[in-house]
């Protein structure tokens, strides 16, 4: 067996788990299933059960395909410099998406979404894991905080990812604690706010860091 394929088999196995679960419960599903819940946890949209197949493709399958392609298409092979760290990152990302797919299939089957707290906790853990990996991501065009300023300067890339790593780790911890303390539907708005903060603050930081570096070079 090809060594690379053998290495990928555990992740491919994770990708297939939601398909196996969906196949197992398929005949017990009605033709119309809930596909969306509002912030109060009430069903507000229905669709064909075939939507669940699309859902599984949109989550673990697409995530695996994107990360697999990123490593192959990286023009400067910077992602390969991460070594085992990239494989671990891919493993955790695919695992998260597979768990998310399983969760949605489960609540669709039971037509009940009593609380999203579990999703918040898992999301918080994922964010903390990503924050821990930020410091080892090499400059590339596919993963990481890819702004015009980080891609222009390796120093800005490194500083931005070091800062973002700490921010994401702290943000993930806040999400976990918030999900454990507050009701899921009360915490929903806070979760969105934290998510926006984690997305945009590192972008602003990369611009500020780039401008500081430019001024420093002008003085020289």
Averaged pLDDT score across all residues of the chain: 88
pLDDT of residue 138: 87
Identify whether residues 120 and 219 lie together within a single domain: yes
Mean pLDDT of 99-119: 81
**Cα–Cα distance list, 75 to 72, 89, 160, 200 (Å):** 8, 20, 22, 27
Residue 219: half-sphere exposure toward Cβ, Cα within 13 Å:
6
Q: Which two tokens stand for residue 79?
A: 């992602």
Identify whether residues 104 and 129 lie together within a single domain: no
Mean pLDDT of 176-197: 87
Identify whether residues 26 and 65 lie together within a single domain: yes
Residue 8 belongs to domain spanning: 1-114
Mean pLDDT of 194-198: 96
Q: Which of 114, 145, 166 is the last residue of a domain?
A: 114
Identify whether residues 61 and 138 lie together within a single domain: no
Distance (Å, whole) CA 184 – CA 176: 11
Residue 220 has pLDDT above 70, yes or no: no
Greater pLDDT, 79 or 24? 24
pLDDT of residue 171: 97
Identify whether residues 109 and 3 lie together within a single domain: yes
Identify whether residues 179 and 98 lie together within a single domain: no
pTM higher than 0.85, yes or no? no
Q: Which two tokens stand for residue 15?
A: 């990708």
Distance (Å, whole) CA 52 – CA 58: 10
Identify whether residues 99 and 13 lie together within a single domain: yes
Q: Which DSSP letter does residue 136 get?
A: G
Residue 142 has pLDDT above 80, yes or no: yes
Identify whether residues 56 and 84 lie together within a single domain: yes
Residue 194 and residue 128 in contact, taking contact as beta carbons nearer than 8 Å: no
Confidence of residue 150 (pLDDT cuts 50, 70, 90): very high
Residue 185 has pLDDT above 80, yes or no: no
Q: Which of 185, 34, 43, 31 lies closest to 106, judged by CA?
A: 34
Identify whether residues 65 and 160 lie together within a single domain: no
pLDDT of residue 114: 62
Please give the backbone phi and psi of residue 180, each rounded to the nearest 5 degrees, phi first: -80, -25
Mean pLDDT of 21-29: 93
pLDDT of residue 75: 79
Identify whether residues 4 and 97 lie together within a single domain: yes
Distance (Å, whole) CA 76 – CA 4: 20
Identify whether residues 38 and 144 lie together within a single domain: no
Tell me how many domains the chain contains.
2
Identify whether residues 110 and 121 lie together within a single domain: no
């Amino acid at each position: 067996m090809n060594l690379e394929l053998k290495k990928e088999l555990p992740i491919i196995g994770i990708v297939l788990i939601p398909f196996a679960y969906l196949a197992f419960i398929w005949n017990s599903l009605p033709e119309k299933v809930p596909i969306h819940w509002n912030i109060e946890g009430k069903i507000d949209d229905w669709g064909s059960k075939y939507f669940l197949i699309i859902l599984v493709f949109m989550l673990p399958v697409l995530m695996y395909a994107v990360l697999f392609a990123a490593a192959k298409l990286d023009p400067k092979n910077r992602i390969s410099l991460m070594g085992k760290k990239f494989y671990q990152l891919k493993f955790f990302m695919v695992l998260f998406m597979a768990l998310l797919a399983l969760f949605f299939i489960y609540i669709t089957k039971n037509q009940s979404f009593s609380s999203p707290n579990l999703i918040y906790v898992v999301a918080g853990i994922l964010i903390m894991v990503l924050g821990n990996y930020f410091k080892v991501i090499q400059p590339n065009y596919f993963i990481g905080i890819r702004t015009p300023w980080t891609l222009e300067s390796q120093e800005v890339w490194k500083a931005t990812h070091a800062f973002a790593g700490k921010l994401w780790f702290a943000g993930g911890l806040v999400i976990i604690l918030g999900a454990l303390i507050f009701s899921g539907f009360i915490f929903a708005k806070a979760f969105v706010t934290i998510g926006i903060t984690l997305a945009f603050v590192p972008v602003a930081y990369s611009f500020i860091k780039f401008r500081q570096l430019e001024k420093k070079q002008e003085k020289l």
